[in-house]
Amino acid sequence: MPWEHRMILLCALAVCITSLVVGAEKRQEDDECADVNNTTWLQYQQHRGKLQVQYLLLTRTNVDCAHMFTQESLTGPQQRSYFNMSRSTKVIIHGYRAMGSKPSWVMELARALLRVQDVNVLVVDWVYGASFAYNLVVENYKEVAVQISVLINQLQKRGCKLESFHFIGVSLGAHVAGFVGTLFEGKIGRITGLDPAGPMFKGADTFDRLDPSDAQFVDAIHTDSDYFGISIPVGHVDFFLNGGKDQTGCARSRFASILVYFPVYGYVICDHMRALHVYMSALNGSCPLVGIPCFSYEDFLKGRCVNCDVFRGVCPTIGLSENSGIAVSPIPKEQKLFLLTSSTPPFCTHHILLKLEVSPLDKSAEVEVTLRTENQGTAQRLRLQTDTTVYRMVLAHPVALCEIHSIELKNTGSRFYRQGDVHVKSVCVSEFPSLRQEKPLCVNNINIRRGAPWSHDFVQVCGIF
């Protein structure tokens, strides 16, 4: 289904759902906790054309109670703002809000940032201009960027340095951040795009979308590049999770449940929002999410890219490390990075490279390879051709190489291809990128018979390292 039809469907759902919503919450007084707005279809029609951009401030002093933030917060007689000019500032920009509801994740992201760094966090609330009709919302995004730039300009005049600002834009919010960067001629410190919006932007000029010239460093995470996200690189480094399209744990047929399950909005955008959830998980630092540079996802899965030589051996990571951990200068632009993730937090997996060498075959065959660690198993089927004897593929396993207990090989194609025994000259598994420089685990000279699975225990082998 084309994205235009998907947007129409979302908007139709929005009208139905928001008609049940009682009016938006009234903005509380300045001395009370603030929140991002909601809006309804009726309010949208009444205030159409008015962006009503607002800003919420959170710091470690008021981490559980956001305050409204304006230029007057710094210049008024009481000067009650917690904003600290000497600290860096994270600016969070949400994207398209199909149903007019507030983005519930913004406060969670703000608090996650504050747990890691003592910074100012500004949340840009432009829900009124970001709701319902996507094509009209796209018409608004540059005006939102202009309004943000006015505030940044005032903060700059009061002592904030442009390089101290880090914009984090989700979906359409990434392009808003990109245009702010354009207005400041790329002098903003950093922009992070979390699955930057694709519809109406893939073919856009770099002036109109996020690109590496918008900040001193631009990184992006892609998780839905075949539907709501953009498919082209837009930063210095672009992390394509699981190829940037279908994410583990997200249903493949996105609209199949509409007939039987009405509240499908979260279901539809599961892939799209995975970038945000992975980014927030990465902030906790429980495990590294490392990207491997490669020309394509297909090449990555075939084991043709297993190092980070282009970055002098240091692989970029998702998170807040400076320049994603890249130390080379100048930083490469539009560098595609690939990594595999799991379906649940912290989303980390170990990249295991499998190398299989077989004797020449008379006819095509199929084998299934399974890596096991206690009750956890990772299986992958591999088609063997008559003109190839060496195969390489990448598997995602939940534990490291030396925690893999066994490897199993099964002759799975005999029923369909009438294949005979498969002679495996060698099968090796190794992990990449490897900090401990572990040697590959190899087994040689194996005959895989029909209906007789083969397995080998790796526990003793790992124990000698």
Residue 335, strand partner residues: 237
Look at the block and give the residue holding tokens 């996650």.
112
Closest CA to 47 of 159, 130, 142: 130
Residues 6+ apart with CB under 8 A from 457: 405, 406
Report d(CA 114, CA 154) in Å as an integer.
23
Closest to 217 in 3D by CA, of 308, 324, 132: 324
| Rounded Cα gap, residues 94 and 112, in angstroms | 16
Q: Is 387 tagged catalytic?
A: no
Q: Which two tokens stand for residue 322?
A: 């400076």
Q: Strand 237-241 and strand 217-222: pairing?
A: parallel
- Residue pair 380/302 in contact (Cβ under 8 Å)? The answer is no
Q: 14 — alpha (psi -120 to 50), left (phi > 0) or beta?
A: alpha
Distances, alpha carbon 145 to alpha carbons 14, 38, 279, in Å: 25, 20, 23
Q: Which residue has the tokens 């919503």?
A: 21
* Residue closest to 131 by CA, chosen among 22, 224, 46, 223: 46
74 exposure class (CB count in 10 Å sphere: 0-12, 13-18, 19+): middle
81 is catalytic: no
DSSP-derived pairing of the beta strands 165-170 and 120-125? unpaired
Q: Which of 272, 277, 350, 397 is catalytic?
A: 272
Concerning whether 272 is annotated as a catalytic residue, the answer is yes
- Cα 13 to Cα 32, 261, 266: the distances in Å are 33, 12, 12
List the catalytic residue out of 73, 88, 171, 281. Answer: 171
Q: Which of 101, 175, 195, 324 is catalytic?
A: 195
- Nearest-angstrom CA–CA distance, 81 and 76: 10
List active site positions: 171, 195, 272
